[in-house]
Amino acid sequence: MPNRELLYKYWEILYPARDNRKLTDFLSKIQPDHSENTSHLQDWYKDAIVYSLYVDLFNTDFNGLIDKLDYLQHLGVNCLWLLPILDSPMRDAGFDIRNYDRIRADLLELSEHFTKEEQENVFGSFLQEAHQRGIKVIFDIAINHCSDEHPWFVEARKSEDNPYRDYYIWSKDTSLYNDARLLFKGIEDSNWEPNGDGWNFFHRFFNFQPDLNYRNPDVLLSMSESILYWQKMGVDGFRADAIPYLWKEEGTDCENLDNTHIVVKFFRAMLDYVKPGSLLLAEACQKPNEVVKYLGDGDECHASYHFPLMPMMFKAIAAEDGTAIKETLSPAVTPEIPENAQWFTFLRVHDELSLELVYVSEEDRKFIHDNYCHQPEWDFRLGEGVSARLSELMQREVSKIGLAYSLMLTLTGTPVVYYGDEFGKWNDEKYYAEQIKLNGKNDTRFLVRGRIDWQKLENELKNTEGFHSRVFKMISDMLTARKSMKVFGRGKTNFLESPKQILSYTRHLPEEKVLVVNNLSSKPQTYTYPMPDSTLVILHSEGFLMDDTNQDMIFEPHGFGWFGVID
């Protein structure tokens, strides 16, 4: 069915009691851009190496980011995921959006009262510079909620008959939606916030982030308008933040509801209608059998994070046993996804090492928390996570950092590198203290953020024996090796028989095949080469030796090897 017809179909499902004149008026103002054939670009995300960053913390503003594009290109990055850049009071690192069609003035190096034209000149120049280097750009857009300083909400709270009142969810009875779990346990004590006039507004995250009401079609169209504005400017995709919570119904847990999926399908059809090839990335912190529903039949999001794989990689290293990874990636846990879809994998991002029970057991939560929460202040949400940088979780052991990256870069999907992890950035205590003072919330996730001091870093990277330099060389070499073969992003995975301390597997396409062997143990391990009739080509290795006489592969503690296989 053509995308325009799909939009009407989804509209009728969401708003059966309303006519479609608003949708027709909206579409009449849109000019689809099919000036070039983009069919060859529509699954570009399968070959991406994504680098996630906060523009201001990375290098001050967009001009500073332009200055570092050569660094990122040399590192092997071909897609930037910009963490929140839209206008915000910055009480939640920018996830509290104040205007959906405006970038924060400080990131543009403009005055607070800049024009749209000025914004488009600065941000457009950045997009052009990135695209010239073969780097695509996606960014976060929180579509479930906004800031309480958003003009819509400022108007909505003025009176019950304000035109924007129905953009949000209001009640005098705070027992409504009582089955919706408290996402920020230990930080917030209710999903309802008093407005001071006898009414309360509904929120799933911080109390200064009111949830939007998608039962109101004006909300759907307003959000579509904002997304299309950025698509037209040249943004290559959007990370849809917190999408499982979009639609609310009394008597449910308000997660993963049928109409939530219809809203997502609407956004996808809208993007495809205007300009095919724009990525829609689901941030759905759920079990894989729920997450795959956000990929639909290839008609919802193009990709989604594989949240359960992340903690299982940490578990495998701590337990020195790869069973958890094999089980997580088995069809029993991770269903097949549409041919045009992709998993995104990660070790660390801007949030905590999440241990929510939606994808870990109580036993796994305790084991991982006990093995990685090395400092009491790293605890997040009363044992539900650990707030720390990868280097800190691995106790600044270069070999363990490398092993973790070996798993993430060679298992299924598209990898995400969190800014600073390529050189082993540490927790930022100073930034954490600043943010507590600013927003009044003891959010330990600010430990994993913080600024990069480029002058200091450049000096440290000159010391080839130093920690940061060793991590940087190792990770950059791994990214180069990963980028050299399409099989890592597109190939099937086949786990091989091995002792539990060894996790070995092949990735294969008809024209490419690789063997990956990871020593999860803190002790040396010997592994008999499983393909004696094939020729090996070393793509990358750390702590690896080959005993050709006995056909034995010898790995130092936490050593690994990636090998091209020629049959």
Q: Where in the sequence numbering do the catalytic residues fall? A: 241, 283
- Residues 78, 242, 373, CA angle at the centre, nearest 5°? 80
Contact 400, 317 (CB under 8 A): yes
Q: Retrieve residue 236's tokens.
A: 């290559």
Element (H, E) at 438: helix 429-439
d(CA 248, CA 310) in angstroms, rounded, equals 29
Q: How far apart, in whole angstroms, are the C-alpha atoms of residue 483 and residue 480? A: 5
Q: What is the rounded distance in angstroms from the CA atom of residue 263 to the CA atom of residue 271?
A: 13
Show the tokens assigned to 133. Answer: 């280097």
Cα 205 to Cα 211: distance, rounded to the nearest angstrom: 8
d(CA 517, CA 536) in angstroms, rounded, equals 12
Between strands 79-82 and 50-53, the pairing is parallel
Structure tokens at 4: 């325009």
- Count the Cβ atoms, other than its own, within 10 Å of residue 109: 13
Look up residue 168 and give its DSSP letter.
B
Q: How far apart are CA 38 and CA 136, in angstroms?
A: 14
Residue 389 CA: distances (Å) to CA of 177, 239, 445, 564: 35, 22, 10, 32
Q: Alpha-carbon distance 213 to 152, whole Å?
A: 12
Chain Cα centroid distance, residue 14: 28
Rg, Å, the chain Cα set: 24
Which residue shows structure tokens 């927003």? 439
Nearest by Cα to 468 from 517, 515, 423, 432: 423
Please give the C-alpha separations between residue 346 and each of 29, 180, 349, 373, in angstroms, as whole numbers.
39, 28, 7, 19
Q: 80 forms bridges with which residues in the sheet?
A: 51, 137
Query: Using CA atoms in the order 126, 132, 135, 141, what is the torsion angle rounded to 10 degrees?
Result: 30
Burial class from Cβ neighbours inside 10 Å (0-12, 13-18, 19+) for residue 13 reads middle
C-alpha to C-alpha distance for 448 and 521, rounded to whole angstroms? 27
